[in-house]
Structure 1
Amino acid sequence: MYTDTEGIILKQTKTVNGRRMIILFSRKYGKISAGTSINEKGRSKAALAMRPFTYGRYELFKNKQSYNINGAEVIKSYYKLGQDVEKYMCCSYVLEFTEKLIIEDVPAPKIFDLVNDFFDIMERRNKKYLSLVLAYQIKSLQLFGSMPQIRECVLCGSKDELIGFSVKDGGVICKKCMQNNKLNSNEKLIYNINFGIVDILEYILGSSLKSFEKLGLDDEILQCLSVIVKKYIEYHLDIGNLKSEGFLSD
């Protein structure tokens, strides 16, 4: 069956006889693996659509067991992202994280649009790159249905004195529950949240990523939130030790 779809290339690997195996985040089919003979180093319009940070349209041959990319064309190229090392690494991290987050053959059109919004904003941004990366992670967790509980204590339901975050329990905890947890367990994945972090999370969740275009988090808040989100993702989604993560800097 011949078909086409909008897509973003998440990863590509060289195979035999000049072919490549592509992991494509497609709007129509979700994450798929597809073979192709199109080389990104060529000068054709199909080759241009195989390059990093490109939003393209891909012609597919689909059978019961596999996909093949027969042709491609650029819808929008975010080539400027590759001209700045820090932007390049942040965008590489977002693609790697997204590839681990989404599920094979399950469409995720809202996350697909979120990736394009992220590229669009990052291309124009000139500082505080990690603030945008963190906002992307939180918005993608929301869309994926894996966001921690932040509006009331995950253990007792109280909305008062929310001063901690329990990674294991998946959300904020009140002062009383935090004290009980520290007294009754050796749980290390409990963090103090003393910087209005709940308000910041609620703002990110209630706003579009585009509203974050010119906003940057205070360094102390960014550091605290980044650690919490990283540990939460590792614990609940088993996503950790990404190759591009070690190169991130703000």
Structure 2
Amino acid sequence: MDTETRAVVMRQIKTVNGRRMIVLFSRKYGKISAGTSLSESGKSKSALALRPYTYGRYELAKVKENFYINGAEALRSYYRIGEDVDKYLQASYVLEFTDKLLAEGEPAQELFDLLTAFLSMMEERKKAYGTLVLGYLCQAVVWSGSAPDLERCVLCKASETKYFSVADGGLLCESCAEKSERDRRLIFPVTVDIIDVFKYLMEGPLKNLSALALRGDLEKKIRNILRSYIAYHMGIEELKSESFIV
């Protein structure tokens, strides 16, 4: 079966005899691994289309359960991400996270659109790259169906909350936090500001973050909570690229 799809290159895997497996995130097929013997040398459209971050059009042949790339054309390279080390590291983290989040061969069109929007915004962004990354992570958590409860205490439904419990999946009032037998390392004190920022990051479209730059201390607190939450509920942790951005 021959087919064509638009996709983002997530990463490459070198195999034998100079061949490579290209991990693509396709809007049509989801995450797929496709073999190719196309040359990556030079500046041709097909060569550019095999590099990470590139958004391109791919001609695929499917034999049984295996995909092969017979032709490729780069539609957008997001080259300015690679010109800034911090941008590159932040975007690498997002690609690695997304790769871990996706199951092979399951379409995820909403997440695909979110990723391409993120890459476009990151390429144009001048500062506060970490804020945009947090927005992407929050909306990916919502997409996965693992969003925390940020409206009230998840245990007693009290409206006044002062803590975020990773294990309980949301906010806790002071009384429930004190009585909790959960691991204290997974219970974080939160302010109204932290809760409001979490809601804003999770509820609004990514384009709303184009001018948002969180304070450094606030960004760090939210990142620590989110990292623990993603590890606990989604099993995604110890990403290789994470050590370069913390």
Asked if Structure 1 and Structure 2 have the same fold, meaning a TM-score greater than 0.5 normalized by the shorter chain, the answer is: yes
Find the counterpart in structure 1 of residue 26 from structure 2. Answer: 26
Find the counterpart in structure 2 of residue 76 from structure 1. Answer: 76
Find the counterpart in structure 2 of residue 45 from structure 1. Answer: 45
Q: Per-residue CA shift, 1:167-202, capped at 9, x if unaligned?
A: 111111112211211xx4553210000252121122
Greater shift in the superposed pair: 121-130 or 39-48: 39-48
SS in 1 for 2:162: strand
TM-score by length of 1: 0.94
> Any conservation in 1 of the 2:22–2:36 contact (CA below 8 Å)?
yes
User: Structure 2 CA distance, aligned partners of 1:105 and 1:51?
Assistant: 21
User: Structure 2 CA distance, aligned partners of 1:221 and 1:237?
Assistant: 23
CA apart distance, 1:134 = 0.7
Greater shift in the superposed pair: 52-61 or 195-204: 195-204
Greater shift in the superposed pair: 145-154 or 17-26: 145-154
Which letter does structure 1 place at the counterpart of 2:63? Answer: N
Identity fraction in percent: 48
Q: Note the residue ranges of structure 2 that are not aligned, 5 or more in a row.
A: none
CA apart distance, 1:84 = 0.6
Q: Note the residue ranges of structure 1 that are not aligned, 5 or more in a row.
A: none
CA apart distance, 1:41 = 2.5
Find the counterpart in structure 2 of residue 154 from structure 1. Answer: 154
Find the counterpart in structure 1 of residue 96 from structure 2. Answer: 96
Q: Any runs of at least 4 consecutive aligned residues in structure 1 with deviations exceeding 4 A, and if so which? A: none
Find the counterpart in structure 2 of residue 215 from structure 1. Answer: 212
* CA distance 1:73–1:238, change in 2 (3 Å): same
SS in 2 for 1:196: helix
User: Structure 2 CA distance, aligned partners of 1:171 and 1:30?
Assistant: 30
Find the counterpart in structure 1 of residue 175 from structure 2. Answer: 176
Find the counterpart in structure 2 of residue 3 from structure 1. Answer: 3
> Any conservation in 2 of the 1:195–1:221 contact (CA below 8 Å)?
no
The alignment's C-alpha RMSD in Å is 1.3
CA apart distance, 1:206 = 2.3
User: Structure 2 CA distance, aligned partners of 1:220 and 1:56?
Assistant: 38
Q: Per-residue CA shift, 1:76-113, capped at 9, x if unaligned?
A: 22011101110011111100000001111111111111
Q: How many residues align?
A: 246
